[in-house]
Amino acid sequence: MDALRDEEKPLHIVMFPWLAFGHMIPYLELAKLIAQKGHQVTYISTPRNIERLPKLPPNIAPLINFVKLPMPKVDNLPQNAEATTDIPYDVVQHLKTAFDKLEQPLTEYLESSNVDWIFHDFLPFWLGPVASKLGIKCAFFTIFTAPFMGFLGPVSVLLGNDPGRTKPEDFTVAPSWVPFQTTVAYRYFEIMKIADILSNENSGGYSDIYRACCCMQNCETILIRGCTKFEPEWFQVLQNIHHKPVVPVGQLPSTGVDHSNGDDTWSWIREWLDKQPRSTVLYVAFGSEAKPSQEEVTKIAFGLEESKIPFFWVLRVQRGPTDNVVLQLPEGFEERTKGRGVVCTDWAPQVKIMGHMAVGGFLSHAGWTSVVEAVQNEKPLVLLTFLADQGINARVLEEKKMGYSVPRDERDGSFTSNSVAASIRLVMLEEEGRIYKEKIKEMKDLFVNTKLQDNYIDNLLNHLRRF
């Protein structure tokens, strides 16, 4: 642990992420890095979420305090549902309603504690005024990348005060405030799939865009998960459009992220992987948020079968116990691929799997934590996007030749099993796909360089102290 200088008073920073593991885990990684510098971090969430977080290393555990705020009860939110992974997509709006009800207990905690800064996510639009009244400074810490935030644009455009975007097609081209040539934009089917983020649907009465705009307007500084050496032009876009400090915190590579009770699971997975030749297995997983449709699962399954490539597929067949749509594999699929492929419908230790030498590629949704873990382990990417920022992430990876997207229909996003098989084989086996392996290796140092990551944290802490 790096010691504070004698004259430096340790900061007390509160972390308050959205109730999704794709948000909670990066927040925890940042908390660990800040604690290593000798500062006190209070990580606030609901009881079940905190219990499911990875265990802390003993050297920093005394500096990270977990505060469990009881999960508010709201209509139509199932019992024990405390994260997006626990519920179907259409129930997330009720989770956001419950999240908003954390305002009072969070305020009571802040009133009774000596807090310097609160790092918050894009949803608590009500938090800025509360913190300001208590003399606590706010940092909007977005787990989304600089290209995604830059593509979204200025608050004036997001709130509709500037007629920069009026129809879905406007999201399929680079916007006017991006002063360089880029292919980074949504495809039509991607923006149509997430049109609800622009409305009040699925957002507890307030659109995600409105929430994020309030958070950006009411914070002192914006923290971005990312690296200025990887995407310098996009960080400049953010400085230009927000007129307040935009501070990179690094890529936050996973440091042994594993849920409890994973040892038995890893034991049998490792045993299977140990039997496979080096770099031959395709790892398939789409994160904790994305759930493909039944038709998509069928096409993916047939594509894996046609590819003749060994595979390990982590398939979430439902989002929580109340999800009535349980995904099914094609009849006879597991028998036909027995020995060559494995389908795991439980939680699996992704970091350990991708670190195994038998794994040679990753069929992914382009969620950024998964991307960082792929780069960390030098696994080239085959991309199949579903939600949120994934389309923008995929364009960045395509531009930088770090990933290849499965060809899809521009209007409805449909794809064929043949295109899945061909994409897998291209990246895993063909000469044309060699570039993706090379680029992933080339980028590794930017993503997981401990000295570089350490510098980002030092710069962040210096910035916080100057306020």
374-418 tens-digit pLDDT? 999 999 999 999 988 999 999 999 999 999 999 999 999 999 999
Alpha-carbon dihedral sign for residues 293, 294, 296, 300: positive
Report CA-CA distances (Å) from 336 to 333, 346, 361: 5, 21, 22
Neighbouring C-beta atoms of residue 410, cutoff 10 Å: 12
* 188 and 410 Cβ atoms separated by less than 8 Å: yes
Encoded tokens for 435 = 């570039």
pLDDT tens profile 407-462? 999 999 999 999 999 999 999 999 999 999 999 999 998 898 899 999 999 999 99
What CATH architecture does domain 12-255+449-466 belong to? 3-Layer(aba) Sandwich (3.40)
Determine the Cα–Cα distance for residues 273 and 451; give it in Å rounded to an integer.
32
- Structure confidence by residue, pLDDT tens digits, 303-357: 999 999 999 999 998 888 888 889 999 999 999 999 899 999 988 899 999 999 9
Residue 98 clears pLDDT 90, i.e. is over it: yes
φ and ψ at residue 195, rounded to 5 degrees: -60, -25
Count of alpha carbons within 13 angstroms of residue 101, beta-carbon side: 15
Q: How far is CA 322 from CA 79, 132, 287, 325, 458, in A?
A: 10, 39, 19, 9, 44
DSSP codes of every residue in 242-303: H-S-EEE-B----SS---TT-HHHHHHHHHHHHTSPTT-EEEEE-TTT----HHHHHHHHHH
User: CA-to-CA distance for 8 and 364, rounded, in angstroms?
Assistant: 44
Please give the Cα distance from 292 to 408 (Å, whole number). 14
Q: How far is CA 218 from CA 27, 93, 467, in A?
A: 20, 23, 15
**For domain 263-446, which architecture applies?**
3-Layer(aba) Sandwich (3.40)
Rg, the chain, Cα only: 22
CATH 3.40.50.2000 placement within the chain: 12-255+449-466, 263-446
What is the CB neighbour count within 10 angstroms for residue 113? 14
